[in-house]
Structures are given as structure tokens and as C-alpha cells.
Amino acid sequence: MDAVSRKRVIVTGMVQGVGFRYHAEAEAHGLGLAGFVRNRSDGTVEAEIEGDDTAVERMLTWLRTGPRSASVNATQVTDLAESGEPGFSIRL
């Protein structure tokens, strides 16, 4: 089994109002990740993802592109301590 890690990702670009959070939630569920995704007041999307390293890397790859309706300009990734949070959700 892979090691577990948690990452905070700030996604910039045309990422609000395009279903980004809902697609991200579905992708995270499919990968078995924990954490959350939310819109930020500055127009970016923030996600925290936690799980085995392989799944986290796959989610990071997905976040760099997002759904077809989005246009991602950049992602900023920060390492966090694992929290053991159960499940993945959309936060307001």
C-alpha cells in the first residue's frame, strides 16, 4: 500500500460557475480520496485531498485540467499533515 498524504491545491483560471466542484467531488470519490473542495471569494477553487499517494497524484493531474467546461491557468500545491478526515465533500 502507498503512503498517505494530504495536499492543499489552489486552482486558478475560469474555474467557478462551470461545475468544477461537482466534477472534482466525483473524481475524488472515484479515487477513494478524502477532503473537500470549495469556491474562494477571489475566484479560485481550493481543494484539500487526502489518500494514498497514487490516488493523490491522479487527482492532482486531474485538477491541472479540470472538467471540459473549465479553463485552468495554474495550480498551487502545498503539503499538509494528514487529518484522517472521512469522505470527500463540497464546502460552501
Length of the chain as a residue count: 92
* 21 counts as catalytic: yes
User: What's the rounded Cα separation, in Å, for the pair 56 and 51?
Assistant: 6
pTM for the whole thing? 0.95
User: What's the rounded Cα separation, in Å, for the pair 44 and 34?
Assistant: 20
**For residue 89, what pLDDT is reported?**
98
Q: What are the residue ranges in the chain where pLDDT is below 50? A: none
**Catalytic residue selected from 39, 58, 73, 91:** 39
* 68 counts as catalytic: no
- Select from 3.50.50.60, 3.40.50.920, 3.40.1440.10, 3.30.70.100 the CATH code of 4-83: 3.30.70.100
**Catalytic residue selected from 6, 8, 21, 68:** 21
pLDDT tens per residue across span 5-20:
999 999 999 999 999 9
